[in-house]
Amino acid sequence: METSKKAQKIGILTAGGDCPGLNAAIRGVGKTAIVEYGMEVLGFNAGYLGLINNDYTELKESQLSGILTLGGTILGTSREKPYKMVKKNGKTDTHKPEKIKKNYKKLGLDCIVCIGGNGTMKTASMLAKEGLNVIGIPKTIDNDVWGTDVTFGFDSAVQIATDAIDRLHTTANSHQRVMIIEIMGHHAGWLALYSGVAGGGDIILLPEIPYNIRSVCKKIENRYEDNKPYSIVVVAEGIDHPKNQTAASHLSEAIQTYTGIETRETVLGYIQRGGSPTPMDRILATRYGAHAAQCIAESNFGTMVAMKNNELTTVSLEEVGSNLRLVQPEHPLITKARKMGVSFGDEYQLIE
């Protein structure tokens, strides 16, 4: 696909789970493309489904006004994965990527901007291999996309989760209870770590750090003896636990059994994904979007925009693949928190 001609017509889509800042990113791409580069911008509906079904609307500048602060995505989203082979009427359906390529050509697109998380970047990378001009923008409240220091959506989710922990604090103190709050994060514990530290959690459990339930209880009992008969336990949903329970209810039962102290659990759930983005997420999403438009103008395709050491840059989509950026157990924030008395559930060597 020749890249020497000036890009004139681009598409945007948002894929994967909801996340604050999607509209800010769409606006960033679209306004820059229109105002600075005079491009035509198409918005594809419902993620990759829109590309497959040629379902799109043209985005004029006026439609990009007033969406900076809106949660959700004006384009809709879906978890459609066009390269996932599915049986259809007994036969494997291999036509989705073909449909995408056909629509891409038919519309005369010069680039597709794919805004999403790990799965979205993986698909974007495969489309790039097929010869399409693709640029990725990393979003996810989990902050676990490889190749960038930060994704938009994370700051907003930290705010929501921390606000919830703040609220539980007053109840924990007033009732002298152990309050357990389960935070999103199947594989990566960034959200639990940041909201746990910001919310003053006494115990923070992450998927990346195997915990020992007796160690957790010991911390709670030590606090109790130290005249602090309440504790806040912040736990990522992805920690080791029986599959027929939530992480929170598993911990709640275990703690109550071992310590005899009253416990209550809260599973924060989908409210972490919605609502107006924080100012910092608006700025980050805007910068990512604007940078993606600039990359198109510079024919820098097959890349994902990224932030490294506070500088906007790009990484190869192939490198990003579907790699996860996990929390390192020796992350400085963990080390600092441990020194202030926060437990990560792995402190005590216990002989059962």
Catalytic residues: 142
303 close to 295: Cβ distance less than 8 angstroms: yes
CB closer to a copy of itself out of 126 and 220? 220
Is 151 one of the binding residues for a copy of itself (CB under 8 A)? Answer: no
Beta-bridged to residue 139, according to DSSP, are: 152
CB closer to a copy of itself out of 171 and 257? 171
Between 106 and 125, how does the x/- string for binding to a copy of itself read (CB under 8 A)? --------------------
Nearest alpha-carbon partner for 116 in 59, 53, 73: 73
CB closer to a copy of itself out of 126 and 247? 247
- Cβ contacts of residue 77 below 8 Å, gap of 6+? 14, 15, 16, 17, 18, 22, 46, 47
Of 100-108, 111-119, 129-137, 339-347, which part binds a copy of itself (CB under 8 A)? Answer: 339-347
Of 112-120, 203-211, 234-242, 306-314, which part binds a copy of itself (CB under 8 A)? Answer: 306-314
Report the sign of the C-alpha dihedral through residues 180, 191, 152, 301, in that order: negative
Q: Which helix (H) or strand (E) holds 252?
A: helix 247-259
Is 310 one of the binding residues for a copy of itself (CB under 8 A)? Answer: yes
Give the nearest distance from C-beta 21 to a copy of itself in angstroms: 11
Of 94-102, 111-119, 279-287, 314-322, which part binds a copy of itself (CB under 8 A)? Answer: 279-287
CA distances from 299 to 129, 204, 294 (A): 16, 44, 9
Question: Please, which of residues 161-190 interact with a copy of itself by CB under 8 A?
Answer: 162-164, 166-171, 173-176, 179
Give the nearest distance from C-beta 187 to a copy of itself in angstroms: 20
CA 286, CA 99: separation in Å to the nearest integer?
30
CB closer to a copy of itself out of 3 and 313? 313
CA 168, CA 199: separation in Å to the nearest integer?
10
Is 291 one of the binding residues for a copy of itself (CB under 8 A)? Answer: yes
Give the nearest distance from C-beta 254 to a copy of itself in angstroms: 19
- Cβ contacts of residue 179 below 8 Å, gap of 6+? 168, 169, 171, 172, 230, 231, 232, 233, 263, 264, 265, 266
Per the annotation, where are the binding residues for Mg(2+)? 118
Per the annotation, where are the binding residues for ATP? 17, 79-80, 117-120
